[in-house]
């Protein structure tokens, strides 16, 4: 399968001004972000989580290391795994790369101001976006270039094929030369949708196509010029107000070969065959964070903490577990025979992929987990909002 290649004599597309509706969109991003994080749990009468009882301890896992980042980690900042390393950003704008096996620090640099999302990297160049809407690219900890963007960014940049791809908060997409920051092309997003989530969306390479979340649709985009090759709808806006009609696709997604499965915010989960651009299935699902999966199944958590599994081939529901309700769960991670989710109380839950039963629980600190767990160097890596990173290994 081809991968995104270096551009051949790219023609720079003229960047248009943002439409007026997009300006309104940017003023409401904080509201939408707050709704995604708090709407199911706010208020004085918020339901209390169930007591989970003794740790089942059905699989043996131990804490192998911890690493202190020196600053707190904000929510919705995905950790980036490349090979045996994991890279994490903190509230002060620092970017730290750790060895997944030992937790030792391999590199660290600062963007000079807070960032709005996690990093993107091709292993040589690392791209970040600052709170002042600056796209900044570093190599070996030193700044190569920076470009001012027209809007905020909440989805990590994608660095691939000698380019940096960025999706901004007005749903526009742009490509820059990774070596010098020259804009290669830009494509405007829809201008009639005033709200956007302040959390990562969908932006990934599949072969020689960019797969992008545009409202409730997956889009296949030509990485050489930004033209749309296909669209596959996973959810349609419904309701009577802007909040109810918000159906943006959220990350992370689950990809197995040409099958890409994603969640539409508070609307549905579905899978698309990106080779044929066919929607394989969709199922109603009221969740706000992304999903993960394997060849047979797709897993996700509802906003109330109910964990669900669907069959990847046709979307049939396989199981549903409600014992983790009201714990503000992260997106899941499929790891070995388990599905791993972490919660706002600092607990990491390992459930069986087969039936959702509890396998074991791990503990971090009471600050709560900042983002979905990841795996690097056969180590389960969990990032606490306190700025402590935990590495767990099987016995």
Instruction: State pLDDT tens for residues 230-255.
Output: 999 999 877 777 777 788 999 999 99
Q: How many Å apart are CA 347 and CA 136, to the nearest integer?
A: 34
Between 246 and 42, name the one with better pLDDT: 246
DSSP 90-157: -TTSEEEEEETTT--EEEEEE-SS-BSS--EE-SS-EEEEBTTSEEEEEETTEEEEEEE-SS---S--
Q: What mean pLDDT do residues 171-195 have?
A: 88
Does residue 234 contact residue 272 with C-beta atoms inside 8 Å?
yes
Between 189 and 146, name the one with better pLDDT: 146
Does residue 291 contact residue 265 with C-beta atoms inside 8 Å?
no
β-strand pairing of 388-394 with 203-206: unpaired
pLDDT of 3 over the 80 cut: no
Q: What is the pLDDT of residue 76?
A: 86
The continuous run of DSSP H or E covering 31 comes out as helix 29-38
pLDDT of 1 over the 90 cut: no
Q: What is the pLDDT of residue 60?
A: 96
- Please state the pTM of the whole predicted model: 0.89
- Mean pLDDT lowest for which of 41-50, 67-76, 244-253? 41-50
Structure confidence at residue 186 as a pLDDT band (50, 70, 90): very high
**What is the average pLDDT value for the chain, to the nearest integer?**
89
Q: How many Å apart are CA 247 and CA 239, to the nearest integer?
A: 11
Structure confidence at residue 42 as a pLDDT band (50, 70, 90): very low
Residue 128 pairs in a beta bridge with 136
Q: What is the pLDDT of residue 191?
A: 63
Does residue 48 contact residue 262 with C-beta atoms inside 8 Å?
no
Does residue 111 contact residue 129 with C-beta atoms inside 8 Å?
no
- Mean pLDDT lowest for which of 191-200, 309-318, 351-360? 191-200
């Amino acid at each position: 399968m081809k991968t995104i290649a270096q551009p051949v004599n790219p023609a720079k597309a003229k960047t248009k001004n943002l439409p007026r509706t997009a300006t309104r969109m940017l003023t409401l991003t904080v509201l939408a972000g707050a709704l995604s994080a708090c709407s199911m749990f706010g208020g004085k009468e918020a339901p209390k989580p169930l007591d989970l009882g003794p740790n089942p301890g059905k699989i043996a896992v131990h804490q192998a290391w911890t690493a202190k980042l020196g600053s707190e980690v904000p929510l919705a900042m995905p950790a980036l795994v490349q090979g045996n390393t994991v890279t994490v950003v903190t509230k002060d704008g620092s970017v730290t790369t750790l060895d997944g096996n030992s937790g030792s620090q391999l590199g660290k640099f600062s963007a000079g101001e807070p960032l709005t999302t996690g990093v993107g990297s091709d292993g040589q160049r690392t791209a970040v976006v600052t709170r002042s809407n600056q796209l900044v690219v570093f190599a070996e900890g030193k700044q190569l270039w920076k470009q001012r963007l027209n809007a905020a960014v909440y989805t990590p940049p994608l660095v691939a094929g000698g380019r940096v791809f960025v999706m901004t908060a007005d749903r526009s997409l742009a490509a820059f030369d990774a070596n010098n920051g020259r804009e290669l092309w830009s494509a405007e997003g829809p201008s009639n949708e005033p709200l956007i989530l302040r959390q990562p969306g969908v932006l990934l390479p599949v072969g020689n196509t960019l797969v992008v979340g545009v409202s409730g649709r997956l889009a296949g985009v030509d990485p050489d010029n930004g033209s749309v090759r296909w669209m596959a709808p996973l959810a349609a806006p419904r309701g009577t107000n802007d909040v109810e009609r918000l159906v943006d696709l959220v990350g992370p997604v689950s990809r197995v070969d040409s099958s890409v499965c994603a969640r539409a915010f508070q609307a549905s989960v579905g899978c698309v065959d990106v080779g044929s651009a066919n929607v394989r299935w969709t199922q109603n699902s009221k969740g706000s964070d992304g999903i993960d999966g394997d060849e047979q199944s797709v897993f996700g958590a509802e906003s109330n903490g109910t964990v669900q599994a669907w069959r990847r081939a046709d979307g049939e529901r396989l199981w549903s577990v409600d014992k983790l309700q009201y714990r503000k769960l992260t997106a899941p991670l499929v790891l070995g025979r388990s599905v791993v989710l972490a919660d706002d109380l600092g607990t990491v839950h390992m459930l069986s992929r087969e039936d959702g039963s509890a396998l074991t629980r791990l503990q971090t600190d009471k600050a709560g987990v900042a983002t979905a767990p990841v795996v690097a160097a056969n180590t389960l890596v969990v990032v606490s909002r306190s700025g402590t990173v935990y590495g767990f290994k099987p016995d």
